[in-house]
Amino acid sequence: MSSIFVYVESKQQKLSSSSKELLAKASVLAKQAELELHAISIGHNHSSIAEELKSFGVKTYYLSDHEQNLPIEGQAYAELIASICSKANPLAVLATASAFAKTIFPRVAQLLSAGIVTDCVELSWDANHKLQAQKPLYSGKCVATATIHTNCAIAVCRPNSFLEKGGEGLSLCDTKVETVEAVSRHVGARLIEEKEVTASKVQLAEAEIVVSGGRSLKSGENFSILEDLAQVLGAAVGASRAAVDAGYVPHSMQVGQTGKTVNPSLYIACGISGAIQHLAGMRTSKTIVAINTDPEAPIFQHCDYGIVGDLFDVVPVMTQSLKKILHQ
Amino acid sequence: MNIAVCIKQVPDTSATISIKPDKKGIDESAIKWIINPYDEFAIEQALQLKEKIGDAAKVTVISVGPAKVQEALRTAMAMGCDEAVHIQTEDRWSLDHLSVSKVLAHAVQEAQAKLVFLGRHAIDDDSGHTGPMLATMLNWSQACFVQTFEWSDDHIQVGKDLEGGRTQTWKIDLPAVVTTTKGLNQPRYASLKGIMAAKKKPLHTKTLADVGVDASAASVTWSEFFVPVQERKRKIFKDGLPGDVEQVVTLLREEAKVL
């Protein structure tokens, strides 16, 4: 029987919320096309994850439990995933568009000669049982439908895109856990050092809530007032290109056409004017709040709720107000 | 040492995108074209490396696309690349990424390069497939989203920012494919002297048939382009604090239901 594979990632021994979202979607696609659903992960074996996979109707959980808790270089990951997939001839392989997946799955696609689409926001089958993916182009200035014609289709999907919550697809089943040996070999790449540089743990691209700052923050230190607000909300902190170009914060925090594209349920833009290249990175946010001193700033044309005022006054009041409400 | 840089010509970041009547692509008639901003970091890094190595280094810039991409190749040569290879296609969308990486792999091998730089992704289709696919085609190591770069004879050392505030440093054996991101360097502008010199530098043109690629069987095809319209509520408050904040917080809870 043909199948769909989902590459899943875990956080604190639980499936990540993006992986659950993807499994819910995959489960519906599997049901529609009468396919089996399998999951793959690389990392330590957590029995709790196998338990979670049951509810999505996952038949087999392929787990490569590498011994050392060291990141393997991309090539080795890609070869492992491709070799697991090639045994089962899946019609589709799905993954969440993390920075990691974006460097691995093009390699997997090449190894499997599979068509690939990255940053999919909707998936469906066409009349010929080919996978179709909706994908934003030009940083979301337009959207198009990609039809993947190869026998195996790879879709790397943007987090927070699908409406399925789980339970709409395949029914509960017993998940078989299959351990896969990772073949270790010389890959010509060694990790020399890994460092924590900032305290923010919420990943921008997957965040449910994003608080962003522009050049009006005036310095990197001043971003701490956004971090205070972000902490109360469990949000990630982002920045406009102007703030990154001014050297306040690293490029990894930039939202926009030459930075990250985010898709949160709430986006709070503080002191951001709303240049077209910034809007391109956050326009799909479900709700947008703008705080700006200039009532004519373009961002107010693209927000749901706006406050005309100095972010240095408004943001701390908002932080206090939310602290009170959310702790009730 | 020969170094290759693969670049793509893309619409300017401030371009307004409109859709063709048949919805099978965008209207390209009024678009101003630029070198993909991430590829500029790739060009700059290749040129800095050439300056370090000296005359023994040669930088070949490669691009796939319609005739217009020769403008981008001339700009790259004006910045300092030594020669250019243009693999000509009819349009910008019919060749899929598997084929593009095959075409580029051919050109990289022909240039006898040991190191390839390209941007982390192109800002038109926002995919980032080409770097890892090219590395796979060549069976070389890859280093993606690179922000710091050092070279020594047979290897390179690269640094990258990970999600969640971590950084990693990798030591990678050559040959290798490196994808560059913002923060790596400050791309130079082409000087007038460079622009004049670029006119005399060699630009080789090839067809897909020359490199043995058949564009007719694309793995992915595109249709139903549209410009998304997102209606916003645009409720703006300017009556002062803390009232404005209280109203917005209440709306976030009760109307938008996002808290």
Q: Rounded to the nearest 5°, which phi and psi values hold at B162?
A: -100, 170
Cβ separation of B132 and A203 shorter than 8 Å?
A: no
Contact A138/B at CB under 8 A: yes
With beta carbons under 8 A apart, name residues in chain B contacting A258: 13, 37-38, 123, 182
CB-based contact A142:B225 (threshold 8 Å)? yes
- Of the candidates A322, A215, A199, the residue with the CA atom closest to the CA atom of residue A269: A215
Contact A250/B at CB under 8 A: yes
**Partner residue facing B101 (CB), from A103, A110, A119:** A110
What is the per-residue pLDDT for A184?
Answer: 61
User: Using CB atoms within 10 A of its CB, is residue B231 exposed (0-12), middle (13-18) or buried (19+)?
Assistant: exposed
Q: What is the pTM of this model?
A: 0.89
CB-based contact A285:A313 (threshold 8 Å)? no
With beta carbons under 8 A apart, name residues in chain B contacting A99: 145, 162-163
Contact A117/B at CB under 8 A: yes
Q: Alpha-carbon distance A38 to A47, whole Å?
A: 16
- Of the candidates A67, A70, A65, A94, the residue with the CA atom closest to the CA atom of residue A80: A65
- Bridge partners (DSSP) of residue A308 are A292
- Bridge partners (DSSP) of residue A254 are A239
Element containing residue B118 per DSSP (H, E) = strand B113-119
Contact A219/B at CB under 8 A: no
What is the per-residue pLDDT for A66?
Answer: 64
Q: Alpha-carbon distance B258 to A233, whole Å?
A: 11
What are the structure tokens assigned to B149, written together?
């770069």
pLDDT tens over chain A, length 328 residues: 799 999 998 888 889 999 999 999 999 999 999 999 999 998 766 678 889 999 999 999 998 876 544 455 677 888 889 999 988 889 999 999 988 899 999 999 999 999 999 999 999 999 999 999 999 999 888 999 999 999 999 999 999 899 888 888 898 888 899 888 776 666 678 888 888 876 556 788 888 999 999 999 999 999 999 999 999 999 999 999 999 999 999 888 999 988 888 999 999 999 999 998 899 899 989 999 999 999 999 999 999 999 999 999 999 999 999 999 887 7
Give the model's confidence band at B153: pLDDT under 50 very low, under 70 low, under 90 confident, else very high. Answer: confident
Q: What is the mean pLDDT of residues B26-41?
A: 96
Q: Alpha-carbon distance A76 to A68, whole Å?
A: 14
Greatest Cα-to-Cα distance within chain B, rounded to the nearest angstrom: 69
What are the structure tokens assigned to B91, written together?
């349009």
What is the per-residue pLDDT for B254?
Answer: 93
What is the per-residue pLDDT for A196?
Answer: 80
Mutate to test the interface with A, among B14, B22, B127, B227 (most CBs of A within 10 A): B127
CB-based contact A260:A276 (threshold 8 Å)? no
CA–CA–CA angle B61, A190, B47 (5° rounding): 20
**Partner residue facing A193 (CB), from B37, B124, B168:** B168
What is the per-residue pLDDT for A247?
Answer: 93
State yes or no: pLDDT of B132 exceeds 60: yes
What is the per-residue pLDDT for B166?
Answer: 79
State yes or no: pLDDT of B19 exceeds 90: yes
CB-based contact A73:A187 (threshold 8 Å)? yes
Can you give the three-state secondary structure of chain A, one letter per residue? CCEEEEECCEECCEECHHHHHHHHHHHHHHHHHCCEEEEEEECCCCHHHHHHHHCCCEEEEEEECCCCCCCCCHHHHHHHHHHHHHHHCCCEEEEECCHHHHHHHHHHHHHHCCEEEEEECEEEECCCCCEEEEEEEHHHCEEEEEEECCCCEEEEECCCCCCCCCCCCCCCCCCEEEECCCCCCCCCEEEEEEEECCCCCCCHHHCCEEEEECHHHCCCHHHHHHHHHHHHHCCEEEECHHHHHCCCCCHHHEECCCCECCCCCEEEEECCCCCHHHHHHHCCCCEEEEEECCCCCHHHHHCCEEEECCHHHHHHHHHHHHHHHHCC
User: C-alpha distances in angstroms, A80 versus A19, A40, A64, B112, B144?
Assistant: 19, 10, 8, 30, 19
What is the per-residue pLDDT for B150?
Answer: 97
The pLDDT tens digits for A156-188 are 999 989 988 888 889 888 889 988 877 666 667
The pLDDT tens digits for B201-227 are 999 999 999 998 988 889 999 999 999
What is the per-residue pLDDT for A320?
Answer: 96
Q: Which residue has the tokens 């040669």?
A: B58
CB-based contact B194:A226 (threshold 8 Å)? no
Distance from CA of A171 to the nearest CA of B (A): 30
What is the per-residue pLDDT for A73?
Answer: 62
What is the per-residue pLDDT for A72?
Answer: 53
User: C-alpha distances in angstroms, B228 versus A147, A165, B18, B29?
Assistant: 19, 24, 11, 21
Name the A residues in 6-65 with CB < 8 Å from any B CB.
none
What is the per-residue pLDDT for A100?
Answer: 85
User: C-alpha distances in angstroms, B104 versus A94, A286, B43, B138, B205?
Assistant: 27, 39, 16, 10, 13
Q: How large is the C-alpha radius of gyration of chain A?
A: 21
With beta carbons under 8 A apart, name residues in chain B contacting A122: none
CA–CA–CA angle B143, B145, B150 (5° rounding): 60
With beta carbons under 8 A apart, name residues in chain A contacting B96: 115
Chain A residue closest in CA terms to B37: A258
**Partner residue facing A188 (CB), from B96, B123, B173:** B173
B5 Cα distance to chain centroid: 10
What is the per-residue pLDDT for B161?
Answer: 79
User: C-alpha distances in angstroms, B59 versus A54, A77, A248, B71, B108?
Assistant: 54, 31, 34, 17, 11
Q: Alpha-carbon distance A38 to A92, whole Å?
A: 11
Q: ipTM of this model?
A: 0.91
What are the structure tokens assigned to A248, written together?
């306040």
What is the per-residue pLDDT for A88?
Answer: 85
Average pLDDT of chain A, as a whole number: 90
Distance from CA of B70 to the nearest CA of A (A): 22
CB-based contact A153:B219 (threshold 8 Å)? no
Cβ separation of A187 and B142 shorter than 8 Å?
A: no
What is the per-residue pLDDT for A69?
Answer: 43
Cβ separation of B126 and A119 shorter than 8 Å?
A: yes
What is the per-residue pLDDT for A70?
Answer: 45
**Partner residue facing A257 (CB), from B13, B234, B240:** B13
Q: Alpha-carbon distance A63 to A240, whole Å?
A: 39
Q: What is the mean pLDDT of residues B248-259?
A: 94
State yes or no: pLDDT of B165 exceeds 80: no
Contact A286/B at CB under 8 A: yes
What is the per-residue pLDDT for A189?
Answer: 81
What is the per-residue pLDDT for A71?
Answer: 52
DSSP assignment of B67-107: TTHHHHHHHHHHHT-SEEEEEE-SSSSSS-HHHHHHHHHHH
Report the side by side order of strands in the sheet with A176-179.
Answer: A115-120, A153-157, A92-96, A3-7, A36-42, A58-64, A176-179
Amino acid identity of residue A218, one-letter, is: K
